[in-house]
Chains A and B, each alone.
Chain A
Amino acid sequence: MGERWLIPTLSFLCVVALFAACLLGSTAMPFERVLAAILGGADPADRLVIWTIRLPRALAAWLTGAALGISGAALQGLLRNPLAEPGVLGVSASASLTATFALYFGLVTLNPWILPLAAIMGAMIATALLSLAASRTQSVVTLILIGVGLSSFSGALMSLLMNLAPNPFSQADMINWMLGTVANRSFAEILLVLPFIAAGTVCLLVNGRGLSALTLGEDAAAGVGLNLKRQRLWTVLGAGLATGASVALAGAIGFVGIVAPHVIRPLVKHDPARSLIPSALLAGLILVVADIFVRLLPSTNELKLGVVAALIGAPAFVWIAIRRRATDG
């Protein structure tokens, strides 16, 4: 048992969490009214709150989490390393940098599609660089260091842009990008990134089988018949699409992509391919719950979702890293 029920259980929990996100808020809404509003009945004010505020926000959190979860699981499989993750590897930071660039220079006003495309481009440049490095070195440390380098460099350029920002409004906007939030997201924004996240997910799922083979190491994986180049290309493409689009939606949210696959892996017999979907579901669940927490927290300035994710995720990252040392020498 166990493995067979994993996906149904997680899916159910996701639906419950999304529903709870509609119930809870600055003013809690009773169960029947939420249900009525979702189904299209009820009073217009309720419908407005649910359909334009709470539901899109919760869905944005879920979608962001799911994209980061599946990207994390896939990158961990490709790089054979439990610490690989869009945030840690600097993929998210690179994506927010290119997105900020597009915003700063007003490219986004030309066409709304430019925003997700810019973020995706940044994510893919970073992922391609990492996979190039990964094919040359077996060293985990090198990869993480490259990630640190990418993050710092992107962070520095973002700071530069912030210093030069013409008005406080665009500064606040950029802070949102760096810290990550799903506040005030609309269905239009979700629909803008959804195709990219879906395409990325398909790329990763179709090529999931190769990640199982990579468990053996690159040489042996090639030996059992894996086309390494193609596997790298599709994983980079898929993770780049999904991560980039999630950044376009919510900014850079770190560590979800580490925590979720780490929890899932023992439940799927440590097979990277089988960890993809459950990791996506769990990461989505985590962000929806974290966002409920953010909204319920009584504070004047709303805490950013990315900050909460890092508060939980960063210690988990350190813990995983320490345990890894202990077992792998």
Chain B
Amino acid sequence: MAELVAKRLTVFRGESLLVDAASFTLAPGELVVLLGPNGAGKTTLIRAALGLLQVRSGSAKLNGTNTRQLSPSERARQIAYLPQVRQLAWPNQVKDVVSLGRFSHGAVLGKLTGRDAAAVERVLAACDLKPLAHRKADTLSGGELARVHCARAFATEAPLLIADEPTAALDPWHQFRNLDLIESFVREGGGALLVLHDFELAARYATRLLWMKDGRIVADGSPAKTLTAERLSEVYRIAAHEESGRVVQEGAL
């Protein structure tokens, strides 16, 4: 069973403290949502946990091995990572983009072998991308492109998934659709850590919420326990009140 354990990660860039002794765990069966305002250090924390950047202190271990010591492909086979969506450099075919999810398994574009080809076909079908498989990525809508990237992550068949704002700039239908896909990934035994900005979506899908502010994890627990009006004002500077078990946002403090 794959488990990512981050212990007291501390990251500086130059003199400024970006992540301050942040700890969290991610294991299969969990859908953890990382919440926090812009600049809270969410992306930095994720990248530090993945071993993509140097930490000042603390450690992140994947099944007991420090992620800095894993080779990029060893790590990628265990944790699929979706950074915030950037435009592709070239107008590649959807199928090729999804195939890149098999990179850590040694796949060569245009020459996928048995297992790689099967994984890509399966994921294309599961994400309703079959009709788009031969389309060029630059002809897709933002929602379709986000789904292609999700499919790419699933194609890796890694037990864990970390996605940075997988629903950014998507319409509600695509937000639900992508989160449904991630939820079924978790139901089938995966573990996911997502950065989201929408509390309602977070509360609806997450098994656990991680609240981050000024580089620190300030709360870690179930939506029912940690999503409170008080926390919103503390973390996000938002006025809110609770109404029949739901938190209703009022506006900026």
Measuring CB to CB, which residues of chain A are less than 8 angstroms from any residue of chain B?
A: 3, 80-81, 209, 212-217, 219-220, 222-228, 265, 268-274, 327-328
Contact = CB atoms under 8 A, between A and B. Distances in A.
The secondary structure that dominates the A interface is helix
A303 B75 CA distance: 55
Given A217-B89, A220-B86, A225 B104 contact: yes
Contacts of A212: 96, 100, 103, 108-109
B88 interface: yes
Most B CB contacts (10 A, CB to CB) among A3, A222, A265 go to: A222
Contacts of A209: 103, 108-109
Most B CB contacts (10 A, CB to CB) among A212, A224, A227 go to: A224
B73 interface: yes
A263 to B, nearest CB: 14
A19 B103 CA distance: 41
A214 B80 contact: no
A208 to B, nearest CB: 9
A17 B148 CA distance: 43
Contacts, number: 93
A272 B100 CA distance: 13
Interface in B35-80: 47, 50, 52, 71-77, 80
B110 interface: yes
Contact of A271 (B76, B104, B110): B110
Interface in B74-133: 74-77, 80-83, 86-93, 96-97, 100-101, 103-104, 108-110
A107 B104 CA distance: 47
B152 to A, nearest CB: 8
30 contacts: A80-B89, A209-B109, A212-B96, A212-B100, A212-B103, A213-B100, A215-B89, A216-B86, A216-B89, A217-B83, A220-B81, A222-B52, A222-B72, A223-B81, A223-B82, A224-B81, A224-B100, A224-B101, A224-B103, A225-B74, A225-B76, A269-B109, A270-B93, A270-B136, A271-B110, A272-B90, A273-B109, A274-B109, A327-B138, A328-B87
B118 to A, nearest CB: 18
Given A209-B108, A223-B83, A224-B76, 20 more contacts: A3-B110, A212-B108, A212-B109, A215-B88, A215-B89, A215-B100, A216-B97, A217-B89, A220-B81, A223-B76, A224-B103, A224-B104, A225-B73, A225-B74, A225-B75, A265-B90, A270-B90, A270-B136, A271-B92, A272-B90
A273 B80 CA distance: 22
Given A213-B103, A225-B104, A220 B82 contact: yes
A216 B90 CA distance: 9
B103 A269 contact: no
